[in-house]
A and B are shown apart, each in its own frame.
Chain A
Amino acid sequence: MSVTNPKPSDPKPSDPRILNYGDHAVLVHWEVDGFDAAVSDTIHGLAARLRAKGAFTEVMPGYDSLVVSFDSDVMPMRSARRRVEDALRRVSTKDAQADGRLIEIAVDYSGPDLAAVAEHAGMSADAVIRAHVARDYRVCMMGFIPGFAFLSEVDTRLAMPRHATPRAHVPAGSVGIANWQTGIYGLDSPGGWQIIGRTDSIMFDASRDVPFLVEAGDRVRFVPA
């Protein structure tokens, strides 16, 4: 009997590397090519476990990595690494899937780069929109600025590189594509993503009780406005 290829939903993705990040942070990094849903589930499950303990200053999930920072006078590097290793052993992809919300975001697909993405994909603009709304996306990471949502991978046909020179001004709510990633700008900012649409949903509003519309681990469904 031979072992065949692992199923796409294999709950045990390849072992990550744990690296010291300076003297007061640890990075967990998975070697993946592009986006890996099982790795992403593991990262968010791990983030939830590590955050629940309340021992770390920051618990920051990414696409293929997670960083925790800590006060190294209270928690020595050795013990931080041990906590991360323990949590990694216990984590299951179910940790992440259980608490992620599904948030619908209405998008007006008339962005300045929609035509360019359509040409890049060899599709009509309508087909690009259909492909972009056809799947739900995982919020993999927030930042670089408040409210920016880095989402999981788009239909491979839509994967288009960033602009060589970023735009000086991209309005808040812009929905864009950068290679296999798609994302939503939380604030007006400079940016290089291919902008295919815009939402009126406010991603970040400091005056709201809950300032953030989405958080890492949530799922996003785009709906044509």
Chain B
Amino acid sequence: MTISVLNGGTQTTVQDAGRPGFRHLGIPSSGAADRLSFAVANHLVGNPWDAPALECALGGLHLRFERPMVIAISGAEQWAQVNGMNAPMNRAFAVEIGDILTLSYAREGCRSYVAVAGGLEATEFMGSQSTYMPAQLGGIEGRALKAGDEVERADDAPTMTNTIPASYLPKLSNHIVLRARSGPEWELLDAHSRRYLFTTPFIATPATDRMGSRLRGDRIVTSEPLAMTSGPLLPGTLQCPPDGQPILALADGHCTGGYARGLHVIQADQWLLGQIAPGAKVSFRRAFEAEAPEILRVRNAVWSALIPGFSF
């Protein structure tokens, strides 16, 4: 026994880099909703960037460590405490037998990652230990952690921890700005909707989870009623149903959809989708065709130098 769950919080799951490549079978890619913060936490404790770690949405997680180990917390801005004393974010630190870690409610952003040196043990399905709750795949019995669960450390701890200079770490806020390119049905949106999408923020409604985020704002509609045959759908796509309230697909989002795909968040900004908390402001900025690959190239160059093997 290595880690006891005293309280699972709002929703805590085991995630890794996900299982891409199976959407044609109806299996979403899943994986850490914020790939960057997840990779940072793993790197700090000396793990490969894609080792299984805990993803805690909105906070409330209480863990008790039953063995000494090295952990790191990254992601949403919040108070992390060990035995009631403030614990550092974005830095590896040791915990002792009986230490209790608590994550308070996320003030800025939505998801925190708790990485343990050595990684976590979880059920593997199709090459990944990521939890996908709708089909109970991966993770701990394919579900969110609850009080009484025990999570095992996978391997003996790596000996070297790492640091990442604070100036590189993203500053999360509750106004998430996503750069996006047009989706396949962009042209079918009416002129007002096309202008509005890039000019005024939306609010993420309580219907915001790992599958997607229903946004509230001005109505986004097609100029003609659209009778679309269902087709493939990707995470980061903004679907625009006839009721005018768009839905942003996330890591666990459906593999097919039947609504106009208005926007698609650029590859370099997909990690930010995981930091949309219910109630957050969400704005879209147009990424131009020549700009998107350049943003990605620069970000990958910076981050792969900091975290070996990582890319967005």
- Residues of A with Cβ closer than 8 Å to B? 19-25, 27, 29, 47, 57-67, 69, 71-73, 76-77, 141-148, 150, 186-187, 189, 204, 206, 211-212, 215-216
Known pairs A22-B265, A62-B231, A146-B135; list 4 more (Cβ under 8 Å): A58-B29, A146-B134, A204-B135, A211-B126
Q: Please measure, in the bound complex, the distance between the C-alpha atom of A21 and the C-alpha atom of B137, giving whole angstroms.
A: 28
Q: Quick check: A22 and B264 within 8 Å, CB to CB?
A: yes
Give the contacting residue for A216; candidates B24, B182, B231, B287; CB below 8 A. Answer: B24
Give the contacting residue for A59; candidates B24, B256, B292; CB below 8 A. Answer: B24
Q: Please measure, in the bound complex, the distance between the C-alpha atom of A22 and the C-alpha atom of B229, giving whole angstroms.
A: 20
Q: Quick check: B256 and A144 within 8 Å, CB to CB?
A: yes
Q: Quick check: B134 and A187 within 8 Å, CB to CB?
A: yes
Q: Quick check: B255 and A60 within 8 Å, CB to CB?
A: yes
Q: Please measure, in the bound complex, the distance between the C-alpha atom of A76 and the C-alpha atom of B293, giving whole angstroms.
A: 8
Q: Quick check: B254 and A144 within 8 Å, CB to CB?
A: yes
B-chain residues with CB within 8 Å of residue A59 when the two chains form the complex:
24
Q: Quick check: A215 and B232 within 8 Å, CB to CB?
A: no
Q: Quick check: A65 and B255 within 8 Å, CB to CB?
A: no
A-chain residues with CB within 8 Å of residue B181 when the two chains form the complex:
20, 22-23
Instruction: Tell whether A73 pairs with B24 under 8 Å between CB atoms, given A29-B184, A62-B232, A206-B125.
Output: no
Q: Quick check: A72 and B24 within 8 Å, CB to CB?
A: no
Q: Quick check: B230 and A62 within 8 Å, CB to CB?
A: yes
Of the four ranges (under 10, 10 to 19, 20 to 34, 35 or more), the interface on chain B belongs to 35 or more
Q: Smallest Cβ distance from A73 to chain B, in angstroms?
A: 5
Q: Please measure, in the bound complex, the distance between the C-alpha atom of A29 and the C-alpha atom of B261, giving whole angstroms.
A: 13
Q: Quick check: B293 and A73 within 8 Å, CB to CB?
A: yes
Q: Quick check: B254 and A142 within 8 Å, CB to CB?
A: no
Q: Smallest Cβ distance from B160 to chain A, in angstroms?
A: 28
Instruction: Tell me if B247 is interfacial: C-beta within 8 Å of chain A.
Output: no
Q: Quick check: B311 and A144 within 8 Å, CB to CB?
A: no
Q: Which has the most chain A C-beta neighbours within 10 Å: B182, B229, B267, B293?
A: B229
Q: Please measure, in the bound complex, the distance between the C-alpha atom of A74 and the C-alpha atom of B20, giving whole angstroms.
A: 16
Q: Smallest Cβ distance from B143 to chain A, in angstroms?
A: 13
B-chain residues with CB within 8 Å of residue A65 when the two chains form the complex:
229, 231-232
The 27 listed contacts between A and B (C-beta, < 8 Å) are A21-B184, A21-B234, A21-B237, A22-B183, A22-B263, A22-B264, A22-B265, A23-B264, A23-B267, A24-B267, A58-B20, A58-B234, A59-B24, A61-B24, A63-B230, A69-B234, A71-B267, A72-B296, A77-B289, A143-B26, A143-B256, A144-B255, A146-B25, A146-B134, A204-B135, A206-B135, A206-B137
Query: B202-242 CB contact bits vs A (8 Å, 1 = yes)?
Result: 00000000000000000000000000011111101100000
Q: Quick check: B231 and A64 within 8 Å, CB to CB?
A: yes
Q: Quick check: A63 and B229 within 8 Å, CB to CB?
A: yes
Q: Please measure, in the bound complex, the distance between the C-alpha atom of A62 and the C-alpha atom of B229, giving whole angstroms.
A: 9
B-chain residues with CB within 8 Å of residue A216 when the two chains form the complex:
24-25
Instruction: Tell me if B103 is interfacial: C-beta within 8 Å of chain A.
Output: no
A-chain residues with CB within 8 Å of residue B296 when the two chains form the complex:
23, 72-73
Instruction: Tell me if B21 is interfacial: C-beta within 8 Å of chain A.
Output: yes
Q: Quick check: B23 and A71 within 8 Å, CB to CB?
A: no
Q: Quick check: A72 and B293 within 8 Å, CB to CB?
A: yes
Closest to B266 in A: A23
Instruction: Tell me if B300 is interfacial: C-beta within 8 Å of chain A.
Output: yes
Q: Quick check: B184 and A19 within 8 Å, CB to CB?
A: yes
Q: Smallest Cβ distance from B205 to chain A, in angstroms?
A: 18
Q: Quick check: B292 and A143 within 8 Å, CB to CB?
A: no
Q: Quick check: A64 and B26 within 8 Å, CB to CB?
A: no
Instruction: Tell whether A57 pairs with B21 under 8 Å between CB atoms, given A21-B261, A66-B232, A143-B256.
Output: yes
Q: Quick check: A62 and B256 within 8 Å, CB to CB?
A: yes
Q: Quick check: B134 and A145 within 8 Å, CB to CB?
A: yes
Give the contacting residue for B234; candidates A25, A63, A145, A187; CB below 8 A. Answer: A25
Q: Smallest Cβ distance from B214 to chain A, in angstroms?
A: 15
Closest to A56 in B: B21
B-chain residues with CB within 8 Å of residue A211 when the two chains form the complex:
126
A-chain residues with CB within 8 Å of residue B200 when the two chains form the complex:
none
Q: Please measure, in the bound complex, the distance between the C-alpha atom of A36 and the C-alpha atom of B29, giving whole angstroms.
A: 29
B-chain residues with CB within 8 Å of residue A67 when the two chains form the complex:
231-232, 234
Q: Smallest Cβ distance from A218 to chain B, in angstroms?
A: 12
Query: B11-43 CB contact bits vs A (8 Å, 1 = yes)?
Result: 000000000110111110100000000000000
Q: Smallest Cβ distance from A92 to chain B, in angstroms?
A: 21
A-chain residues with CB within 8 Å of residue B234 when the two chains form the complex:
21-22, 25, 58, 67, 69
Give the contacting residue for B287; candidates A23, A29, A57; CB below 8 A. Answer: A23
A-chain residues with CB within 8 Å of residue B184 when the two chains form the complex:
19, 21, 27, 29
Give the contacting residue for A25; candidates B137, B180, B264; CB below 8 A. Answer: B264
